[in-house]
């Protein structure tokens, strides 16, 4: 029976449905050895080395942002340096912003090494999220500039560029920004306390750290009565106001399909990096009603798909 190693940056309880989608896409006759780093970089690196060393693991699926994919790639570089890159242990990533810029692949069409997967189009959409939130949240009729909160994760690769892109969009829209750069649960709490006093709404930027804290972040937004926009639809299922982006489930499904191809004999170097099939705009109707926000049928050229009742937080 084939064995897939799953290296995840987050925690198991928050990704039950995505991992189920991965399992289904892999098909029968495949066992998944799942390891979760709980947002601990040192633990992630240790797990990555263990999976590279494990002779039973045929493919590593790296999920939860760019860090696990990079950890697996660097582990294979260290431990299998005598082999050509394309012959090292295969790595499939679920959703990574700019795989080429991160050094995971040579090009999207021809990865060239031992890694491939799906380009996430995650943080690239943060400026559009600010634009959509600005349109959704009612104006008070005054001409003064509105201030929006921006939550970023301290330590994220290229976080400065991520925020700079949001700041550029804010300038176009005539908005002010209040940024909170955090990497702990306490930091997230303090950020929302500050946002309540100084902002009208919050952009939670794309990052696996925030995705692993969906319940906490959505609860804080509700407590402080702050409209907020997120990366994945799963935030809306947990009660978040609005999300815009690709499908998290699709990212895991594509990772499973890609890993299945590798098990069948294809090399990662021969499998082009895929892209999301679509980008959806979801609004939680119940949350909008509580915040006094009227939900239109479309926003910024995107058709709104309503979430009428909060579902599972997983």
pLDDT of the chain along its 314 residues, tens only? 899 999 999 999 999 999 999 999 999 999 999 999 999 999 999 999 999 999 999 999 999 999 999 999 999 999 999 999 999 999 999 999 899 999 999 999 999 999 999 998 889 999 999 999 999 999 877 766 899 999 999 999 889 999 999 999 999 999 999 999 999 999 999 999 999 999 999 999 999 999 999 999 999 999 999 999 999 999 999 999 999 999 999 999 999 999 999 999 999 999 999 999 999 999 999 999 999 999 999 999 999 999 976 444 44
Measured CA to CA in angstroms, residue 71 lies from 60, 63, 68, 97 at distances of 11, 11, 5, 15
Do the domains 2-120+248-270 and 123-245+279-307 sit in the same CATH topology, yes or no?
Answer: yes
Please choose, from the candidates 114, 109, 118, 184, the residue with its C-alpha nearest in 3D space to the C-alpha of residue 153: 184
For residues 126 and 121, give the distance between their C-alpha atoms in angstroms, rounded to a whole number: 10
Determine contact, residues 80/88, Cβ cutoff 8 Å. Answer: yes
- From 3.40.50.2300, 3.40.50.2020, 3.90.1150.10, 3.30.420.40, which CATH number describes the 123-245+279-307 domain? 3.40.50.2300
Please choose, from the candidates 37, 30, 66, 65, the residue with its C-alpha nearest in 3D space to the C-alpha of residue 51: 37
Q: What are the pLDDT digits (tens) for 179-238? A: 999 999 999 999 999 999 999 999 999 999 999 999 999 999 999 999 999 999 999 999
Task: Give the DSSP H or E segment for 144.
Answer: none
Q: What are the pLDDT digits (tens) for 167-176? A: 999 999 999 9
Tell me which fold the domain 2-120+248-270 belongs to.
Rossmann fold (3.40.50)
Domain ranges of the chain: 2-120+248-270, 123-245+279-307
Categorise residue 236: left if φ over 0, alpha if ψ from -120 to 50, beta otherwise. alpha
């Amino acid at each position: 029976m084939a064995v897939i190693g799953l290296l995840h940056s987050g925690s198991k309880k928050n990704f039950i449905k995505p991992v189920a989608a991965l399992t289904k896409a892999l098909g029968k006759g495949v066992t998944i050895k799942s390891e979760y780093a709980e947002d601990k970089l040192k633990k992630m690196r240790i797990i990555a080395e263990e999976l590279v060393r494990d002779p039973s693991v045929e493919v590593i699926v790296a999920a939860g942002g760019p860090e696990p994919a990079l950890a697996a790639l660097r582990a294979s570089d260290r431990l299998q340096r005598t082999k050509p890159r394309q012959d090292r242990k295969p790595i499939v990533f679920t959703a990574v912003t700019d795989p080429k810029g991160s050094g995971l692949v040579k090009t999207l069409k021809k990865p060239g090494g031992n890694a491939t997967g799906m380009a996430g189009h995650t943080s690239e959409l943060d400026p559009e999220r600010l634009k959509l939130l600005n349109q959704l949240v009612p104006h008070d009729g005054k001409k003064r500039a509105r201030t929006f909160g921006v939550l970023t994760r301290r330590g994220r690769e290229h976080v400065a560029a991520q925020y700079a892109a949001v700041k550029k969009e804010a300038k176009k829209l005539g908005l002010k920004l209040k940024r909170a750069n955090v990497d702990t649960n306490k930091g997230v709490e303090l950020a929302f306390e500050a946002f309540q006093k100084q902002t009208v709404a919050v952009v939670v930027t794309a990052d696996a750290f925030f995705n692993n804290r969906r319940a906490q972040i959505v609860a804080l937004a509700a407590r402080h009565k702050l409209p907020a926009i997120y990366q994945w639809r799963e935030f809306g299922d947990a009660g978040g106001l609005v999300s815009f982006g690709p499908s998290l489930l699709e990212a895991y499904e594509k990772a499973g399909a890609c890993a299945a191809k590798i098990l069948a004999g294809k090399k990662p170097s021969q499998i082009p990096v895929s892209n999301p099939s679509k980008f959806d705009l979801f609004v939680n109707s119940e949350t909008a009603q509580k915040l006094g926000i009227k939900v239109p049928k479309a926003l910024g050229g995107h058709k709104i798909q309503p979430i009428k009742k909060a579902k599972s937080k997983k």
